[in-house]
Structure 1
Amino acid sequence: MTIDPKASYTAKLVTNKGDIEIELHAGQAPRTVNNFVFLAREGYYDGVSFHRVIADFMVQTGDPTGTGRGGPGYTFADEIARELRHDGPGVLSMANAGPNTNGSQFFITHVATPWLDGKHAVFGRVSKGMDVVNAIAQGDRIERIEVLG
């Protein structure tokens, strides 16, 4: 495992619109945070576009092909923590194509999306930069992700 589930981790998404800081929930979602941190530190997300942006819902990224169908070449099981909910803006969660199909794609919510609870693994929350999240348009890019912790 790349991370220590007992440690605190923060991710800074450096985008062409500005920076987004996210507190990662390593204790409640260690496998999911580990996957994200591993990919980020390997540069996997560098230059990747926000390929799906839906107003008053979410912004989605993490697919290097930009089609919404790409990923790292593997999938892993859902890691649903009951205490982590899609309960407001700024929730970081895994995008998937159904149960246990997590890979590299993730989204950040604009609003509460309770219908996603139990279906998508929440693994962080925006602590700074919601104005940047709200300004992101389809085609904007992640320049890099810096992980502290």
Structure 2
Amino acid sequence: MPRLNLRPLHSSPFAKPFIKKPTSTRYFHATSANMTIKTFFEVSWEGPVLDSSGKQTSKVEEQAGIIKFNLYDEVVPKTVENFRALCTGERGIGYAGSTFHRIIPQFMLQGGDFTRGNGTGGKSIYGEKFADENFIRKHTKPGLLSMANAGPNTNGSQFFITTVATGWLDGKHVVFGEVADDESLMVVKALEATGSGSGKVNYNKKPTIVKSGVL
């Protein structure tokens, strides 16, 4: 069951450390090195409306937005190719129509289970699972795109987007891209506001990837 490592070395219970909430989206600046492949998700959801500064308001409504990604194709080409092909759907499987099934504020958004929709499914373009490519990139900031897994070398289609730095996941999950711009990061923040400490989405309409592809 692909999930994030909430237990170090799969042993004792893991307590997610307290992380100070960023005060500005300026914390999320993207970089341009080693990124030539760009993809996108068009997402729809129900949840709190954010104001212009990114703060949550009391107004709840159905919303839509686009998240653009820059992928680290020179660092982890096999992992990037898996994500790219699942974005286009060119192999007959892909992300379009799937949901973000697990959202934990001040941690991450998890999605990519297009077979079961609950975190127990999904598969890669290489078969059900493929090996960890490398751990060169670290979970150093919000807006990073990383592979969810069920332990070493169990990558499939599930991924997560960080909303804070998550260094305790270094060496356990393969970072393969990042959110491309501030507009996309505002969408990530809006999706984050739909989640809960348990990961359950608090609103009737789960965040859904309506369309995905390559830019």
Q: Secondary structure at the match of 1:75?
A: coil
Count of residues in Structure 1 that have an aligned counterpart in Structure 2: 142
Gaps of 5+ in 1: 1-5
Question: Which protein shows a greater Rg?
Answer: 2
For residue 121 of structure 2, what is the amino acid of its counterpart?
G
**2:122 corresponds to which residue?**
71
In 2, distance between residues paired with 1:7 and 1:108? 17
**1:54 corresponds to which residue?**
104
Determine which structure has greater relative contact order: mean sequence separation of CA pairs < 8 Å that are 6+ residues apart, divided by chain length: 1
TM-score by length of 2: 0.63
Gaps of 5+ in 2: 1-33, 45-63, 195-200
**1:134 corresponds to which residue?**
189
For residue 95 of structure 1, what is the amino acid of its counterpart?
A
1:8 to 36, 39, 43: 36
In 2, distance between residues paired with 1:76 and 1:62? 15
Q: Secondary structure at the match of 2:117?
A: coil
Shift of 1:81: 3.5
Contact 1:37 1:147 in 2 (8 A): yes
Indicate yes or no: 2:170 matched with 1:117: yes
Instruction: Report the identity percentage.
Output: 49
TM-score by length of 1: 0.90
Runs of 4+ off more than 4 Å: none
Shift of 1:37: 1.1
In 2, distance between residues paired with 1:36 and 1:9? 10
Which moves more between the two structures, 117-126 or 67-76? 67-76
RMSD: 1.5
Contact 1:28 1:81 in 2 (8 A): no
Shift of 1:7: 7.5
- CA distances 1:78-129 after superposition (whole Å, capped 9, x unpaired): 12242x1100110000000000000000000000000011100000011121
